[in-house]
């Protein structure tokens, strides 16, 4: 399979073939996402929560994103990699925004970047696109706005906020985004937006009407023992599986079962004899 491009993803939308995106944060998760056949990998700033143990994505830095993007791009060579611009990396000035987006490409080897926001980030989107870097938009629930929003909640339920999200989607498309993530919006709104855009929408908690789907790999594999949002479907119970494996190891060492003779290395008897004398 060949690596997805901004062009091939638009063709997938046109042909109504679903786009599958999955997050990855390091070499093993990138290997798994690629071998599993995902079309796109997102190095999400959700890594702050699922990998670094923060309560929100706000403490995540550019250095964190570059570090993890490097590991992901070493693990998957044939999958399009999108990396999140973290909190405050695109809010200060346009030159700083372009520099930060460029670092994710130049140092992390990402193929594209993603940033949160609608009408308020159009200048940033245009400036990054002008530098030749593909941009994914992200509207609906914007986790970097959690303190402003007062929690991780569904967005766009009333007319005013739904219209705002709809307009933001069109504006982001106009500004040059090649895809837009719709997070935690009502299914009918996500479907309406998807039908009216020529670029693909990728939903998370946005129902079945979007052009693609994205999930956090730790959520879908069940690697975490944290609370899972309603929209996350668990395809594995890896936290339980891994804990059970660790328990077995602990018990076997205590019971003198591990290591067995087969895990050790031999030495010639004459060498041992000479050592003993
Ligand atoms: O950081 C992330 O994982 C994301 C997805 C939830 C879209 O932005
Ligand atoms: Na994110």
Q: What is the pLDDT of residues 109-133, one digit of tens each?
A: 999 999 999 999 999 999 999 999 9
Interaxial angle between packed helices 27-35 and 62-75, expressed in degrees from 0 to 180 and rounded to the nearest 10 = 50
With beta carbons less than 8 A apart as the criterion, state whether 178 and 135 touch.
yes
Q: Which residues are catalytic?
A: 183
**Model pLDDT for residues 17-49, shown as the tens digit of each residue:** 999 999 999 999 999 999 999 999 999 999 999
Q: Percent of the chain, pLDDT > 90?
A: 97
**Model pLDDT for residues 149-165, shown as the tens digit of each residue:** 999 999 999 999 999 99
CA distance 196 to 1: 29
Which of 65, 42, 46 has its CA nearest to residue 144? Answer: 46
- Return the pLDDT at 134: 98
Are residues 210 and 95 located together in one domain of the fold?
Answer: yes
Are residues 96 and 31 located together in one domain of the fold?
Answer: yes
Please give the distance, rounded to the nearest whole angstrom, from the Cα atom of residue 209 to the centre of ligand 1.
Answer: 18
Q: Is residue 268 part of a domain?
A: yes
- Return the pLDDT at 227: 84
pLDDT at 107 over 90: yes
Are residues 125 and 101 located together in one domain of the fold?
Answer: yes
pLDDT at 195 over 80: yes
- Return the pLDDT at 271: 97
The CATH number assigned to the domain holding 29 equals 3.20.20.60
- The finding on whether 84 has its CB within 6 A of some atom of ligand 1 is yes
pLDDT at 226 over 90: no
Annotation: binding site for Mg(2+):
45, 84, 116
Are residues 259 and 187 located together in one domain of the fold?
Answer: no
- The finding on whether 214 has its CB within 6 A of some atom of ligand 1 is yes
Residue 261 domain boundaries: 241-276
Are residues 207 and 247 located together in one domain of the fold?
Answer: no
Predicted confidence band at 191 (pLDDT cuts at 50, 70, 90)?
very high
Which residues does 3 contact at the CB level (< 8 Å), separation at least 6? 78, 79, 80, 111
- Establish whether this prediction's ipTM goes over 0.90: yes
CA distance 46 to 54: 9
Predicted confidence band at 237 (pLDDT cuts at 50, 70, 90)?
very high
In order of 135, 221, 243, 247, 260, the CA distances from 253 in angstroms are: 51, 28, 16, 10, 10
Are residues 145 and 252 located together in one domain of the fold?
Answer: no
- Return the pLDDT at 58: 98
Are residues 187 and 171 located together in one domain of the fold?
Answer: yes
Query: Taking residues 255-262, what's their average pLDDT?
Result: 97
Are residues 60 and 165 located together in one domain of the fold?
Answer: yes
Are residues 57 and 18 located together in one domain of the fold?
Answer: yes
pTM, two decimal places:
0.96
- The finding on whether 45 has its CB within 6 A of some atom of ligand 1 is yes
In this structure, the residue with its CA closest to atom 3 of ligand 1 is 44
Are residues 189 and 251 located together in one domain of the fold?
Answer: no
Q: Is residue 98 part of a domain?
A: yes
Q: Is residue 60 part of a domain?
A: yes
Domain count, the chain: 2
CA distance 246 to 139: 40
Determine the residue of 29, 40, 216 to mutate for testing ligand 1's pocket, defined as the one with the most ligand atoms within 8 A of the Cβ atom.
216
Q: Is residue 266 part of a domain?
A: yes
CA distance 47 to 258: 34
CA distance 81 to 239: 26
Q: Is residue 1 part of a domain?
A: no
- The finding on whether 34 has its CB within 6 A of some atom of ligand 1 is no
Annotation: binding site:
45-46, 84, 114, 116
Are residues 212 and 253 located together in one domain of the fold?
Answer: no
- The finding on whether 204 has its CB within 6 A of some atom of ligand 1 is yes
Q: Is residue 11 part of a domain?
A: yes
Identify the DSSP state of 144.
G
Annotation: binding site for 3-methyl-2-oxobutanoate:
45-46, 84, 114
Are residues 248 and 233 located together in one domain of the fold?
Answer: no
């Amino acid at each position: 399979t060949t690596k997805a491009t901004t062009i091939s993803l638009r063709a997938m939308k046109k042909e109504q073939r679903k786009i599958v995106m999955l997050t990855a944060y390091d070499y093993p998760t990138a290997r798994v996402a690629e071998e599993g056949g995902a079309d796109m990998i997102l190095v999400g700033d959700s890594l702050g929560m699922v990998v670094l143990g923060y309560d929100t994505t706000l403490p995540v830095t550019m250095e964190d994103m570059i570090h993890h993007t490097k590991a992901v791009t070493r693990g998957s060579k044939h999958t399009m990699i999108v990396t999140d611009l973290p909190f405050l990396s695109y809010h200060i000035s346009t030159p700083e925004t372009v520099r930060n987006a460029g670092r994710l490409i130049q140092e992390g080897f990402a193929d594209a970047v993603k940033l949160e926001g609608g009408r308020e980030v159009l200048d940033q989107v245009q400036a990054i696109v002008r530098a030749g870097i593909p941009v994914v938009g992200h509207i609906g629930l914007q986790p970097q706005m959690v303190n402003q929003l007062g929690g991780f909640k569904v967005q766009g339920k009333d007319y005013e906020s739904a219209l705002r999200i709809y307009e933001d989607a069109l504006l982001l498309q106009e500004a040059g985004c090649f895809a837009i993530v719709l997070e935690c919006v009502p299914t009918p709104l996500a479907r309406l937006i998807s039908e009216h855009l020529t670029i693909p929408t990728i939903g998370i908690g946005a129902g079945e009407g979007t052009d693609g789907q994205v999930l956090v790999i730790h959520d879908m594999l069940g690697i975490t023992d944290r609370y899972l949002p309603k929209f996350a479907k668990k395809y594995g119970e890896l936290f339980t599986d891994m804990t059970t494996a660790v328990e077995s190891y602990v018990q076997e060492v205590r019971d003198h079962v591990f290591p067995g003779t087969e895990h050790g290395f031999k030495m010639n008897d004459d060498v041992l004899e000479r050592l003993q004398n």
